Amino acid sequence: MEITYDKNAQEILSTIKSFARKSSLWVIAYGTGCGAIEIPPTMTSRYDAERFGIRGSATPRQADVLLITGYLAVKTLKRVIRTYEQMQDPKYVIAFGSCTINGGMYWDSYNTIKLLDKYIPVDVYINGCMPRPEAVIQGFIKLQELIMNKKAEGAAKYKENLEWYRENQRKIIHNWRMPEYNW
């Protein structure tokens, strides 16, 4: 009986933690592409994302969510990786715009990323070119559902498969010179 009680208590505690996490998402928005223009209306009074617990963060170390807002140049990818690795666990990535999924209208460009998930783990993609604020909010709601159901596992996937990610990252970033990821 005692063990059952402990398990129940742990489950309740874990659910409370997930509820707290999903209700307070601090976002660092990396405005890589044109989709960044949809962030101000999403965060301000018209769509008011803060009513869902979503708000901006000034630095990666205080952020829970890294929001990549569109096409990503190889040169910028290096900064995005560095930003992601500076964030503390638990951390999540939302990639927004078709460019992060398949390169979008830059699909044959020599210097943009075609699939962001090869380089950093993406928890939620929001498709569209560019996605409207309603879609952005829907993407956050999807992330909140994943957090609540303990399925937002991107950061764990990154740790487990770091060698695979590094290999992909180093294939396209030639002047690597990055500090080692300090867990």
Cα torsion through 16, 20, 22, 26, rounded to 10: -160
Say whether residue 104 binds ligand SF4 (CB under 6 A). Answer: yes
Say whether residue 133 binds ligand SF4 (CB under 6 A). Answer: no
Q: Which of residues 37-96 bind ligand SF4 (CB under 6 A)?
A: 70-71
How is residue 132 annotated by DSSP? P
Token pair listed for 59 = 């630095």
User: Cβ distance 97 to 132 under 8 Å?
Assistant: no
Say whether residue 98 binds ligand SF4 (CB under 6 A). Answer: yes
Q: Which residue is nearest to ligand SF4 (CB)?
A: 70
In the complex, minimum distance from the CB of residue 131 to ligand SF4, in angstroms, rounded to a whole number = 8
Going by C-beta distance under 8 Å and a sequence separation of 6 or more, which residues neighbour residue 27? 54, 55, 56, 57, 63, 64, 65, 66, 67
Q: Contact region for ligand SF4 (CB under 6 A) — 12-20, 32-40, 148-156, 157-165?
A: 32-40
| List of residues contacting ligand SF4 (CB under 6 A) | 33-35, 70-71, 97-99, 104-105, 129-130
